[in-house]
Amino acid sequence: MIFCLPAMAVYAQRAPIDVNLIVDGSAGFTGVKDQINSWVSGSLVDQVLVQGDRVTVWNAGAQTKVIYSGTINSDADKEAVKKSLRDFSASGSRADFAGALREAAGKQSGSFSYTVLLSASPDALSSLVSGPQANLLRFSRIEEFSGWRALVIGLNLDARVRRASAAFFGS
């Protein structure tokens, strides 16, 4: 236990990151809203966010719009992120994930970003995967839940991967 304490202290003191939370704005979100809110609160807001992190919550509805943007400086700021999700309203049949990902990729201000896309609409996700923005999903991981999925997406990693590969292979 004593050996774990220094590692936990280092983790708690990491550099601030940009966090993008892209939420399905289609009517499909309504049926799983409580499950998603619970997961985001416990897995993302309470476990990942630390002081200094910059958070943007996107409503990927018929049109993409930012519903929350701020820096985490206190527990009140974490509660504001959670409130933006509790107050989130979804409608319609379309989720503009491509637009939200494109805007999030262009907005990155720090050296590292953590992007989570929450999808309750299989149709919207399939149009993203088969569309011109599919390359934005190149570095991602999908976690499946009952009725929805969370995609953790590594935006703007292309240049870093190329540099690391070139350094590794010596070219």
76 shares its domain with 148? no
pTM of the entire structure? 0.79
Q: Is residue 163 part of a domain?
A: yes
Q: Residue 51 corresponds to which tokens in the numbers above?
A: 């002081």
- Read off the DSSP letter of residue 44: I
Q: How many folded domains does the chain comprise?
A: 2
pLDDT at residue 4 greater than cutoff 90: no
CA distance 91 to 29: 8
Q: Which of 81, 93, 111 is nearest to 15 (CA)?
A: 111
Q: Residue 48 corresponds to which tokens in the numbers above?
A: 């990942």
Query: Which residue range forms the structural domain that includes residue 171?
Result: 93-171
120 shares its domain with 142? yes
End-to-end CA distance of the chain: 43
Q: Is residue 145 part of a domain?
A: yes
pLDDT of res. 93: 82
Residue 23 in contact with residue 59, Cβ under 8 Å? yes
Q: Is residue 21 part of a domain?
A: no
Q: Residue 159 corresponds to which tokens in the numbers above?
A: 């240049």
100 shares its domain with 151? yes
| Predicted confidence (pLDDT) per residue in 119-159, tens digit | 997 776 666 665 566 566 666 678 889 999 898 887 665 56
86 shares its domain with 121? no
Q: What torsion do the CA atoms of 36, 142, 78, 32 make, to the nearest 10 degrees?
A: -10
Q: Which has the higher per-residue pLDDT, 81 or 167?
A: 81
101 shares its domain with 74? no
Which residues 6+ apart lie within 8 Å of 74 measured at CB?
51
Q: Is residue 58 part of a domain?
A: no
pLDDT of res. 130: 56
115 shares its domain with 145? yes
81 shares its domain with 123? no
CA distance 7 to 80: 29
| Predicted confidence (pLDDT) per residue in 12-56, tens digit | 578 899 999 999 999 989 999 999 999 999 999 999 999 999 999
125 shares its domain with 159? yes
75 shares its domain with 111? no
Residue with tokens 């990927």: 60
167 shares its domain with 97? yes
* Full strand arrangement of the beta sheet holding 148-153: 64-71, 54-60, 18-24, 113-119, 148-153, 140-145
152 shares its domain with 165? yes
